Amino acid sequence: MRKINENEIQKVKLGDVADKAGVSRTTVSRVLNNRGYISDKTRQKVHEAVELLNYQPNEIARSLFIKKTYIIGLIFPTTNNPFYGQLIFHLENICESLGYRVLLCNSQGREDKEKDYLKMLQRHQVDGIIAGAHNRGIEEYNNQHLPLVGIDRYLSKNIPVVSSDNYDGGKKATRLLIDKGCKQIIHINGSPSLETPANLRREAYEDVMKENQFHPRTYIIGDNIIERLFDENPNVDGIFASDDLIAANVIREAKRRNINIPGDLKVIGYDGTETTRILLPELSTIQQPVKEIADLAIKLLMKQINGESESQIEWKLPIKLIKGETT
Amino acid sequence: MRKINENEIQKVKLGDVADKAGVSRTTVSRVLNNRGYISDKTRQKVHEAVELLNYQPNEIARSLFIKKTYIIGLIFPTTNNPFYGQLIFHLENICESLGYRVLLCNSQGREDKEKDYLKMLQRHQVDGIIAGAHNRGIEEYNNQHLPLVGIDRYLSKNIPVVSSDNYDGGKKATRLLIDKGCKQIIHINGSPSLETPANLRREAYEDVMKENQFHPRTYIIGDNIIERLFDENPNVDGIFASDDLIAANVIREAKRRNINIPGDLKVIGYDGTETTRILLPELSTIQQPVKEIADLAIKLLMKQINGESESQIEWKLPIKLIKGETT
DNA sequence: TTGTAGGCGTTATCAC
DNA sequence: GTGATAACGCCTACAA
C-alpha cells in the first residue's frame, strides 16, 4: 500500500505490478493464475514486482468477473451453544481446507432474522448455504437456485438434510433408563412444530415407552418447565432431556430438591459435545458425530456447487451412547 | 432469477429491472439508493419491477465500486469454546445491527493459519478485523493500514486492546482462596510467552501471594499438567485456574483422587460464560463482561472505520467474582 | 427529473 | 509469448 495523502490509502493493484514489472496487466494476471505460456524471465519479473509491492489481489473484483466468491453462508441459532459452536468450528475448518471462507449468521431462532440473512447472503453472492436454525419451514428456501444443505433441519422438499440418527438416539436413551429400572420416565423436548429431525428423539422415546407398557410423557421446553415437571411428577425417576444443557438444568433442580442422582433419579442428555464432556463429564448422554455431520454437509454442498447430482435427501449418522454416572 | 437453459441460472440484474420499468439503470440505482430527485411515478414503477423480478442487488459489484464491503473479519482460536463462542455470538450480533457481516476464521492458535487468514481477509477487502487468537505477536499486524482491534491480545503497538480487568480478576480470585483459609495455592495458566493480557492474571496471583507471605507457584498448561500438579503437590488446598475448562478438569482429577471439594481443596476458574454457568453452576469463577467487551471492541473498530481518532489503546472492563460451591 | 458514459480491479478473448 | 480490449454489475459525474 502507498499513501496518496495523509488520509487516503491506495491499495496496490494489478496495474501497479504491471507497471513495476514493465509488462501488461494481462501478463501479470496470467502469471498469478498460471494460465497460458509465459517466459521464465517475465514470470520472475512479475513475481519480483509482486513481492516488492506486497500485492494482494482484490477478490471482490475477481469474484465479480468469475461469478464465484468462494464464500459459504452459515445460518445457525448461535455460536454460544456447545453443539453449534463445535459444529461451526468443524464447518469453518473444512471450508478453509477447500479454499472457501465462511460468512457467519446467528439467527437466534428468529424467523425474521433468518429470512433477512438469507437475502443478505444472496446479495453477497455466496456459493452456498448451510443452515441449521431451529425455525419453522421458511418458504424462501423453496425457490432458491442456490446450493443448500440443512443440518438437523428440513429446509425444503429437495434440500438434503444431515443429522445424527435421532431415532436411534432416542431409543438408546430411553432403553437405558428402562434397563436401569426407571418406572416413571419423562422426556423434555423442543416444540414439535419446529420441523426438525430432533422430533424423532421424541418419537423413539414414545415408541420404546409403549413397547414396554409405560406411559410416555413429554414436556415442551418453556418457562419454569423443569420446576413444573418436578412439581407435577413427584415420583419421576428417569428424565431424558433432548440436549445436555437441559439435562444440566434438570440436575441442578434435582440437587436443589435433594433428589439423589442416580439413586432416586436418572438423567440422560443429548449431544455429548466436547465442552459438555469437560464441564459435566459425569452426564450420561447420546453423543452426536459432530465432525462427521460437518464433513458430510460440506461434501453434499460441494456436490451441488460443482453441479454433480445426488438423489439421496436424508442422511443419518450413527450416534454413540455414553453411559455416565447420572444413570 | 430466470433460466437461460436447463443448467444455467441467470441472476436478475439492475438492467433487467430498468427494462421492466421502462427507465434507465441510473434511475433504478437512484431509486434503490434514495439518491437525487425521482418522480413518485417512476419510483413506483421501479419498485414494482423490483418486486416482480425479485431483484437482489449484487453486493460484490456494489462493493467494487464503493470500495467498501461491510464485512468484518473475526480471527479467534475456535468457536468450540464457551468463551469465544459467546464472544463471537455478541460480535456477530452487534455487527449485524450495524449493517455489517462477519467472516469467521478459526485460527486454532496456529500462527501460520492466522497469517494466512489475515492475508485472505485483506484480499477480500474486509472493512476491519477483530482478532483474539492466542498467538505470539505477528508482525504482519504492524504494517496494516486496516482498522484493527484486539481482544485480550496485544496485536501491535498502536492497535487497541480490549480485555476484562485481568489483574483485578486474578487478585480477587487469589484473595478469595486466601480468605477461605487456603495455605498452598497453585495457579494454572497458559504460556507467558503468548503476549496476552491474561498474563496479568498470573501477575496478580503472584503479587497477592507475596503480599500474604505465600510462595506463588504457577503451572503452565501442557500434557498431564493436572496430574503432575497433584502428584508434585499432595498438600495443595487451593487452585486458581486461568479458565473454567481447566478448573473443570481439576475438579474431575480431584474427584478421581477422592479429594473433597471444597473441604480439602478449593477451586476457582475464570470466564464465567453462560455455558459454564449452566453445565457447572457450582464453580466459583471470575466472570468476564463478554457482551461489554464485544460492544467496546466494535465501537473502537467503527471509530477507525469512520476515520475518527482515539488515543486510548488499552481498555479494561470490570470483572465479577462469582462465589460458588467450589471455594 | 432522467439518461449517457465511464470506471471500480480483475480476467478472458482475440489479435499480433 | 505478450498485449489491447471488452466484459463482470453497479454507481456517480455530467449532460440534457
Q: Please identify which residue in the block is written with the cell numbers 465432525.
A: A291
**DSSP-derived 3-state class of residue B10:** strand
Yes or no, beta carbons of B123 and A64 under 8 Å apart: no
Length of chain A: 327
- Answer whether the bond into residue A57 is a cis peptide, omega within 30°: no
> Which residues of chain B does A274 touch, with a Cβ-Cβ cutoff of 8 Å?
80
Give CA–CA dist A295/A301, Å, rounded. Answer: 10
B145 part of contact set with chain A, CB < 8 Å = yes
Yes or no, beta carbons of B279 and A248 under 8 Å apart: yes
Nearest to B224 by CA among B213, B216, B232: B232
Assess contact for A55 and A17: CB atoms under 8 A. yes
What CATH number should be reported for the domain whose range is A166-288? 3.40.50.2300
Q: Where are the domains of chain B?
A: 6-66, 71-163+291-318, 166-288
- Residue B26 CB lies within 7 Å of the nucleic strand C: yes
Fold match flag (B6-66 vs B166-288): no
What does the pLDDT look like over A25-68, one tens digit per residue? 999 999 999 998 999 999 999 999 999 999 999 999 999 999 99
Least-confidence region, from A2-16, A29-43, A172-186, A187-201 = A2-16
Q: Return mean pLDDT, chain A.
A: 93
B106 part of contact set with chain A, CB < 8 Å = yes
Minimal Cα–Cα distance from B248 to chain A, Å? 5
Spatial CB neighbours of A286, under 8 Å, sequence gap ≥ 6: A164, A169, A170, A172, A173, A268, A269, A270, A271, A272, A319, A320, A321, A322
- For residue B57, the 8-state DSSP code is -
pTM of the model: 0.95
pLDDT, residue B43, reads: 94
Supply the DSSP string of A128-143, one letter for each residue: EEEE----S--GGGTT
Mean pLDDT by 10 residues, chain B (327 residues): 49 93 94 91 94 95 97 97 98 98 95 93 96 71 82 85 96 98 95 79 97 96 94 97 96 97 97 98 98 98 94 96 97
**Residue A65 CA to nucleotide D14 C1', Å?**
28
Domain spanning A71-163+291-318: CATH 3.40.50.2300: yes
- Residue A65 CB lies within 7 Å of the nucleic strand D: yes
What does the pLDDT look like over A272-304, one tens digit per residue? 999 999 999 999 999 999 999 999 999 999 999
What does the pLDDT look like over A10-20, one tens digit per residue? 799 999 999 99
Superfamily of domain A6-66 in the CATH hierarchy: lambda repressor-like DNA-binding domains (1.10.260.40)
